[in-house]
Structure 1
Amino acid sequence: MHDGCSGAHESGKQIVDKIRMMGFNKSPVAASFEIDCTNCDAVFQMEYMESQCPSCGMVYGVTPCHSHTAEFVKAAGVKY
């Protein structure tokens, strides 16, 4: 069920599952974000709503409604 922009996602896995289900995972974010990987401390540019750290494979996701800021990006897990 689509809950608009009011959806509260507790985990990165929930975010990634939702954007995959809706087909937004390969959509670009409004402007790329600089992400500090929570797993390996590498810094990389997140350009899509689902992105992966090139150093360790940690997957990150953000919903379309929140893709304007890195504040809402959450980690889902390594190679999730």
Structure 2
Amino acid sequence: HTVAARAGVTGMMKTLAAEWGEYGIRLNCVAPGTIKTDALGRYPISPDRWKELNRSVLNRMGMAEDIAGTIIFLASDLGNFIT
């Protein structure tokens, strides 16, 4: 269900970016994968599933701090040509 939802959000963002760009409205979508948050602890996760969630080129889950800089950049004037 989450894969389908992410695909829908990505598709919507691409469409809106193409339609609204001429009005100076920029849209960006950040899809970082598994981020370790307090909310993640609400789900019963088996040890094998934890290994799968940690599988990345960095061999760890992301943290909110890992994504914050990207969001700040995109929202700032430094990202004014990215949509």
Same fold per superposition (TM over 0.5): no
TM superposition score normalised by structure 1: 0.24
Instruction: Compare CA radii of gyration and give the structure with the larger one.
Output: 2
TM superposition score normalised by structure 2: 0.24
More strand as a share of residues:
1
More helix as a share of residues:
2
